[in-house]
Structure 1
Amino acid sequence: MSIREEIKNQIVGALEGAEFPIETPEALLGAFPQGSDTTCKAGEVEMTAGEAGELLTGDDFPFISAENVADTILDKAGL
């Protein structure tokens, strides 16, 4: 499994049970189990939800699914 796939699976898993659509950055961080401190790690890559949130802009919202969140974050991170 690639680093991208591992981190995507971790993001999707962390957002299990979140209510979509998610309209704001604050609501997205609140949907993660440990908020901005929620951490995904694969290989040498480690990213917190707070760090990932810094990559997003208002134009990225609303998110319609956990997969949508993961793909957007990973694309913006260059993974």
Structure 2
Amino acid sequence: MSAKEELREQFVAAFEGADYPVDDPMDLLPALPDGPSTKFSADDVTLTAMDLATNLGDKANFPYDTVDALVDDVISSLEDENYL
């Protein structure tokens, strides 16, 4: 499994418990086991939830109605920033 696929699975697992629709990143925090310190790792890539929020930045299209739409944008922003 590629790092992208592994991270996608981790993001879905972490964010699927959020109360959708989510209007901003703060709506996602209750779903994360360690809040903004929650870590996601695959191969040589390790990011915290706070790193994701920073990298997503202006690429975010809040509100998100589904976990898949959110994760698609997170993955896309990580690719744009050359993490993946």
Query: TM-score normalized by structure 1?
Result: 0.86
Structure 1: tracts of 5 or more residues without a match: none
1:31 maps to what in 2? Answer: 31
Instruction: Describe the superposition over 1:22-70 as per-residue Cα deviations: whole angstroms up to 9, x where unpaired.
Output: 0012112333221111111000011111000012238521112222222
Q: Cα RMSD (Å) of the superposition?
A: 1.7
Secondary structure in 2 aligned to 1:60?
Answer: coil
Aligned counterparts of 1:37 and 1:67: Cα–Cα separation in 2:
22
Higher relative contact order (CA 8 A, sep 6+): 1
1:65 maps to what in 2? Answer: 66
Aligned counterparts of 1:58 and 1:33: Cα–Cα separation in 2:
24
Secondary structure in 1 aligned to 2:55?
Answer: coil
Checking the alignment, whether the CA contact within 8 Å between 1:29 and 1:50 is kept in structure 2 is: no
Relative distance call for 1:55 and 1:20 in structure 2 (3 A) is same
Structure 2: tracts of 5 or more residues without a match: none
Aligned counterparts of 2:60 and 2:50: Cα–Cα separation in 1:
18
